[in-house]
């Protein structure tokens, strides 16, 4: 019988990475700056490995191949086959990330035989002056954009959003964006690792080399018509799941749990991801109990119809699935 799955974190050092993730993972001590921790991934070369239970040491793609729709749901399997469609990661930015854009499904499929990358960010923690950039602060033409890239002023045209803990924003493919220093973010996205880097602040790595830019690819990927983006703040209502993001790629709800409650999944033809952003959550299911600590994510297989959520003593959780 399938059970809620937790995975070994995949830690990734980054030039802009920080120290916040080191307190979560002892394995992080061997790195100077951890930029990302991939919690649920089927991206080739970075496949999540199950942690605990009789399925321990199996990768997520292996489980999809064996359990098919029992793991991901009938509709999801019909749509995606053996390709698990989502990626969940934590991003810890001690420095500004590059200004970048992601391709949509059409461009990514044509160029990379991959999904595109539509994503959402949830602010787990941040410094007082933290911000993210998403979209332009005015409508721009391709010519104006290229001029700004060439003269190094693109940052002046980005829409800057001051952030606080609990804020969230949807970043569709084609949206120029950047995460500012001081942000720790939960990112839920399509299963893709394709980024077109536009500007990287002329940074160099430890060998003195600048990172590659993707100017031509980015120009094709940018959606110049859909340029304005809005940031939202999570409004939690005790023990009531509320929708915050609904896209063709995934749907995410937020729940502030302060009492034991049943989560009925029988009408959801999909796996469900439970991401605890604050507190601790005990999940009771037909095979036993799974504990999800702060900043952890568990995958509930589609074959599980009901779970009981038991916060310890309180928990805030994001609930994500495919519809």
Say which residues have a Cβ less than 8 Å from residue 80's Cβ, sequence separation at least 6. 72
The total number of residues shown for the chain amounts to: 323
In the block, residue with structure tokens 């930029």: 35
DSSP states of 255-308 as a string?
EEE-S-EEEE-TT--S-EEEEEEEEEEEEEETTEEEEE-TT-EEEE-TT--EEE
**Region for residue 127 given its phi and psi (left: phi exceeds 0; alpha: psi -120 to 50; beta: otherwise):** beta
Q: Which two tokens stand for residue 154?
A: 């693109």
Q: Which of 23, 79, 181, 197 is catalytic?
A: 197
Residue 111 appears among annotated catalytic residues: no
d(CA 308, CA 241): 14
d(CA 10, CA 16): 17
Pair 267, 315: CB distance under 8 Å: no
Instruction: From residue 272, give the alpha-carbon distance in Å to each of 71, 282, 307.
Output: 10, 15, 11
Nearest to 227 by CA among 316, 159, 292, 160: 159
Pair 4, 52: CB distance under 8 Å: no
d(CA 45, CA 295): 23
d(CA 161, CA 159): 7
Q: Which residues are catalytic?
A: 197
């Amino acid at each position: 019988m399938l059970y809620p799955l937790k995975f070994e974190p995949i830690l990734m050092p980054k030039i802009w990475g920080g120290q916040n993730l080191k307190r979560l993972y002892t394995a992080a001590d061997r790195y100077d700056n951890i930029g990302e921790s991939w919690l649920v991934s089927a991206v080739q070369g970075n496949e999540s490995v199950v942690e605990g239970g009789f399925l321990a040491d199996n990768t997520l793609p292996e489980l999809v191949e064996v359990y098919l729709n029992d793991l991901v749901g009938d509709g999801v399997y019909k749509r995606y086959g053996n390709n698990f469609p989502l990626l969940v990661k934590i991003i810890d930015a001690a420095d500004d990330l590059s200004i970048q854009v992601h391709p949509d499904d059409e461009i990514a499929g044509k160029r990379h035989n991959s999904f595109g990358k539509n994503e959402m960010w949830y602010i787990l923690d941040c410094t007082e002056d933290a911000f993210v950039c998403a979209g332009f602060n005015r409508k721009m033409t391709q010519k104006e954009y290229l001029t700004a890239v060439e003269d190094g002023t693109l940052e002046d045209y980005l829409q800057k959003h001051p952030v606080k803990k609990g804020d969230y924003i949807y970043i569709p493919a084609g949206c120029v964006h950047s995460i500012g220093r001081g942000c720790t973010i939960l990112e839920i996205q399509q299963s893709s690792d394709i980024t077109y880097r536009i500007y990287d602040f002329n940074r160099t790595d430890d060998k003195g080399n600048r990172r590659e830019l993707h100017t031509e690819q980015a120009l094709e990927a940018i959606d110049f018509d859909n340029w304005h983006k809005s940031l939202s703040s999570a409004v939690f209502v005790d023990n009531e799941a509320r929708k915050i993001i609904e896209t063709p790629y995934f749907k995410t709800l937020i729940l502030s749990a302060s009492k034991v409650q049943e989560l009925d999944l029988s009408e959801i033809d999909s796996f469900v991801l439970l991401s605890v952003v604050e507190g601790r959550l005990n999940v009771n299911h037909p095979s036993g109990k799974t504990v999800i600590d702060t900043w952890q994510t568990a995958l509930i297989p589609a074959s599980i119809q009901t779970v009981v959520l038991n916060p310890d003593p309180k928990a805030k959780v994001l609930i994500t699935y495919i519809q």
